Amino acid sequence: MSSAVDSPRSAPAALPRTLGNTSIVGLQWGDEGKGKIVDLLTEHFDFAIRWNGGSNAGHTVKVGDKKYAFHLIPSGILRPECTSVIANGVVIDPLKLLEEIDNLINQGVKIEDNLRISAHAHIVLPYHKLQDQLSETAASGAGGGGKIGTTGRGIGPCYADKANRTTAVRLIDLLDDGRLKDKLQRIVAQKNMIFAALYNAPPLDWQPMFEQYRACGEQLRPFVTDTTRLLHHAWKAGKRLLFEGANAVLLDLDHGTFPFVTSSNCGTGLSVGTGLPGPAVQSTLGIVKAYSTRVGGGPFPTEQDNPTGNQIRERGHEYGTTTGRPRRCGWIDCVALRYTAAISGATGLCIMLLDVLSGFNELKICTHYEIHGTKTDWFPADALELEHVTPIYETLPGWHDPLDNVTAFDQLPAHAKNYLARLECHIGVPIKIVSIGAARHQTLIR
Ligand code: IMP
């Protein structure tokens, strides 16, 4: 989760005109600050579209003294003239979604026909959350291996049922009592057998679940549509589309640090998650923290489990907003970033939280790895192999001046400019935006 502060609500105009339809993707392990960039850009777009993940993701946006929390709804909803779409690739926890809708309405946000939700999105049910939590707890017990450190939001089990098909429930099913009843009766019976056998867990009752989720369906019915059709019409009509990727490329199910990943394609699944082909997107902005963080388990070559990491954590307030977990912190990793920029087709970079690095005497950039005595510039996206790499660093001078009063790229301290130039050189993608604080005016556009 990340947060963005907006004051005042006027966007820098120069950049978005050149972007075309734009995809926003995190290039590390999540929490890069995508929310701030999405909030900054939505003003220039007609549609804001979520296409993957579920309530494991999220960010807060501050407008003046109001603070809005987002997990499933694109933050474009804050602008009534922008249509926010939750597309088919998202897994929806209807209880969380309705809570989010209620909170936003109570804060005065208009949520009517400016929110459209795919009838084909899959539904997170109580047994998914239970399975997520039970399997993580069992894995962390005596002799247990394989703990992933999930958010416990039922994301993996829901996507597993999607792939399994016969145990899947989609939003369209919540709108048909007969179909939902049949499905839940059958699926809950199966889940109960599994939970009893594996975890000795008491059985769940399908009936109250049916009542609760059919009621959710009724509440969501006005928003439900064929979003694939909607998006194709919008694209053909020349509407401006902003795609909000959740999680991040290193958490991508196929291309991330498997098995310590989430269960959706975070860097590569836009077409799958929306039904739009690749040419519908002209620009991909890769969002990157000026350092690295990770929550949950898994290898993290540039991790600094030492005073440097602590300093980054405290300066960057690196504690998860969803789970409160302290984030693991370390130096920026250009081997990983070259890979994730390539995988996602990033055409520009947004470097976030540069201000957090003020005050270090020197900074390190990981440029290569050494694996079994061999130097490599390619990222091995496999947790077992990644555990054995040794990072090779380039050391650069730091800067001590705070960046509070910087209003243009040219005003950055020389060593900060040099740091960015080295990142650009090692990653091979131009830096378009540099963020030096949570507020909108603390954004430097190049
Ligand atoms: P899950 O997505 O809850 O299954 O969790 C799988 C892994 O992805 C865990 O290490 C989580 O901490 C991580 N994860 C999932 N979503 C996010 C996110 O939005 N930011 C950071 N980490 C995430």
Using CA positions, which residue lies closest to atom 17 of ligand 1?
247
Residue pointed to by tokens 């820098």 = 12
30 CA distance to ligand 1 centroid (A)? 8
Ligand 1 contacts (CB < 6 A) are 29-31, 56-57, 148-151, 153, 155-156, 247, 251, 260, 262-263, 295-296
Using CA positions, which residue lies closest to atom 10 of ligand 1?
296
59 belongs to the catalytic site: yes
100 CA distance to ligand 1 centroid (A)? 20
148 CA distance to ligand 1 centroid (A)? 9
Q: How confident is the prediction along the chain (446 residues), in pLDDT tens digits per residue?
A: 445 444 444 445 567 778 999 999 999 999 999 988 998 899 899 999 999 999 999 888 877 788 898 999 999 999 999 999 999 999 999 999 999 999 999 999 999 999 999 999 999 999 999 999 999 888 764 444 578 989 999 999 999 999 999 999 999 999 999 999 999 999 999 999 999 999 999 999 999 999 999 999 999 999 999 999 999 999 999 999 999 999 999 999 999 999 999 999 998 999 999 999 999 999 999 999 999 999 988 999 999 999 999 999 999 999 987 678 899 999 999 999 999 999 999 999 999 999 999 999 999 999 999 999 999 999 998 888 999 999 999 999 999 999 999 999 999 999 999 999 999 999 999 999 999 998 888 999 98
Q: What is the pLDDT of residue 144?
A: 44
What would the two tokens of residue 391 be? 């990072």
Q: What is this structure's pTM?
A: 0.93
Using CA positions, which residue lies closest to atom 11 of ligand 1?
150
Strand partners, 329: 293
Residue 259: is the preceding peptide bond cis (ω within 30°)?
yes
8 Å CB contact between 361 and 443: no
What would the two tokens of residue 50 be? 């979520």
Q: What is the pLDDT of residue 140?
A: 64
CA dihedral 220→225→226→229, nearest 10 degrees, is -140
261 CA distance to ligand 1 centroid (A)? 7
Strand partners, 25: 286
